[in-house]
Chain A
């Protein structure tokens, strides 16, 4: 066995490299886990209102979210990302929180559209003025509704955020 040279490694991204022929990754564990996690965000299929239609378009063949490793899961237990796609009403808020509580850690929340960010144009008795009133929102996507490209931009922003995380993979750290 020869010595492993720096030049033999195939760089996947900053800090994560791949040894050709050995099916092994080299890098700090933090980075490798973040890399894997960012490349496989699984959101819950959970549409609330208008934005859900654009979310569906983002998942269909024109924009194809699958190429980012983003696959919609119907069960919150298998998902790690909640996209708040639409207006959050007060009647719906406890349900959303429950779906969020059912998701395993680490989990992320995207507020898609003005309604989920701030209540949008519905400043009425029935509407929650922004999802961050009861959920920790990671990424805000403005627009009414945002184009599918904007949603993809938001998911890429989330990937960047995941890549910067430190030690969110073990209770020992």
Chain B
């Protein structure tokens, strides 16, 4: 894939936001701050004709080797991949999100399809998307504790989900149920 020329345009338009850009395996990647992410995304959509949002996900950088000890990296990042169906160019934006202010602007106004992807990021990584119309957990139950994809979350989970505990208790209780003795009182 040849260079798309979008990175220089982004650098000119948003000099304060673009931290760093590189090519890896022929894919263009830009590291940005999170402040003007909505503007950057709408710039990419409207000025660069990138109409297709390929994916949106969040990455926990806390144990990432390339991120440790570097100023431009924050604890989390939200990754956007855009593609232009007409010019066949694609670009990846990595917006850095710090731990103490774990929120970023939602892009649902630009791509309605980002709705569930952002909810997934909130659910599994705990990143808040401001101005998202309906930010709830999507994959885990509503009262689940913790955000599973964070690096400190163990694979088998912390504790047990309350709903499952109740279910187990209930099934133990029903195991001893006896139909005949339950009918005796009614006779």
Contacts and interface: CB of A to CB of B under 8 A. Distances in A.
Direct contact, A vs B (beta carbon within 8 Å): yes
The A interface, classified by DSSP as helix, strand, loop or mixed, is loop
Nearest to B165: A90
Q: How big is chain A's contact interface, by range?
A: 10 to 19
A90 B171 contact: no
Given A93-B164, A97-B170, A135-B171, A123 B155 contact: yes
| Residue among A124, A125, A136 having the largest count of chain B Cβ atoms under 10 Å | A125
Given A123-B156, A125-B156, A126-B140, A90 B180 contact: no
B155 A133 contact: no
Contacts of A171: 179-180, 183
Contact of B167 (A97, A123, A124): A97
A56 B153 CA distance: 37
Contacts of A90: 141, 161, 163-164
Contacts of B156: 123-125
A165 B166 CA distance: 31
A171 B182 CA distance: 12
Given A125-B157, A126-B140, A94 B168 contact: no
B164 A128 contact: yes
Contacts of A13: none
B163 A125 contact: no
Given A125-B155, A125-B157, A134 B140 contact: no
A134 B167 CA distance: 7
Contacts of B166: 94
Interface string A95-117: 00100000000000000000000
A90 B142 CA distance: 12
Given A125-B148, A171-B180, A94 B155 contact: no
A26 B132 CA distance: 70
A91 interface: yes
Nearest to A125: B157
Interface string A129-173: 000011110000000000000000000000000000000000100
Given A124-B156, A125-B156, A97 B171 contact: yes
Contacts of B170: 97
Given A126-B140, A171-B180, A93 B167 contact: yes
A94 B167 contact: yes
